[in-house]
Amino acid sequence: MAKKILIVDDAAFMRMMIKDILTKNGFEVVGEAADGAQAVEKFKETSPDLVTMDITMPEMDGITALKEIKKIDGSAKIIMCSAMGQQAMVIDAIQAGAKDFIVKPFQADRVIEAISKAIG
């Protein structure tokens, strides 16, 4: 059965890029969210196997959303997506329970490697 993924990014084209990479590699995208608050709601609705979470978003940022999702499900698997130069935020995210991080612009093989390892 295909692993279910929730994609969270405020940029629609970034969500589309990740979705394209995932669907081509046999994953099922069960939801998309444009900010952290939507991410928490979609997580409750879809119970995904994994979440890809942008760090910098309006309303609620990715690290806050990560912490909220971890409160709902302590075993939730979340991979952070960050632009270059966000090392401090990435460290915060890992300490808050993120499994891994991928750097934008995305490389398909790195995305698949991180997700496969996290779901593993």
Query: How much is the pLDDT for 15?
Result: 96
Is 29 in contact with 23 (CB distance < 8 Å)? yes
Q: Is the pLDDT of residue 2 over 80?
A: yes
Pick the CATH number of 4-119 from 3.20.10.10, 3.30.420.280, 3.40.50.720, 3.40.50.2300: 3.40.50.2300
Q: Which amino acid makes up residue 29? A: V
Output the pLDDT for position 90.
85
Instruction: Give yes or no for a contact between 25 and 51, defined as CB atoms under 8 angstroms apart.
Output: no
Give 105 or 117, the one with higher predicted confidence. Answer: 117
pLDDT of residue 101: 92
Residue 29 in tokens: 């995208």
Number of residues assigned to the chain: 120
pLDDT tens digits along 69-91: 999 999 999 999 988 777 888 88
Task: Report the pLDDT value the prediction gives residue 33, as an integer from 0 to 100.
Answer: 98
What confidence tier does 93 reach under pLDDT thresholds 50, 70, 90? very high
pLDDT of residue 82: 87
What is the 3-class SS of 66-80, one letter each residue? HHHHHHHCCCCCEEE
For all residues of the chain together, what is the average pLDDT? Answer: 94
Q: What pLDDT was estimated at residue 104? A: 87
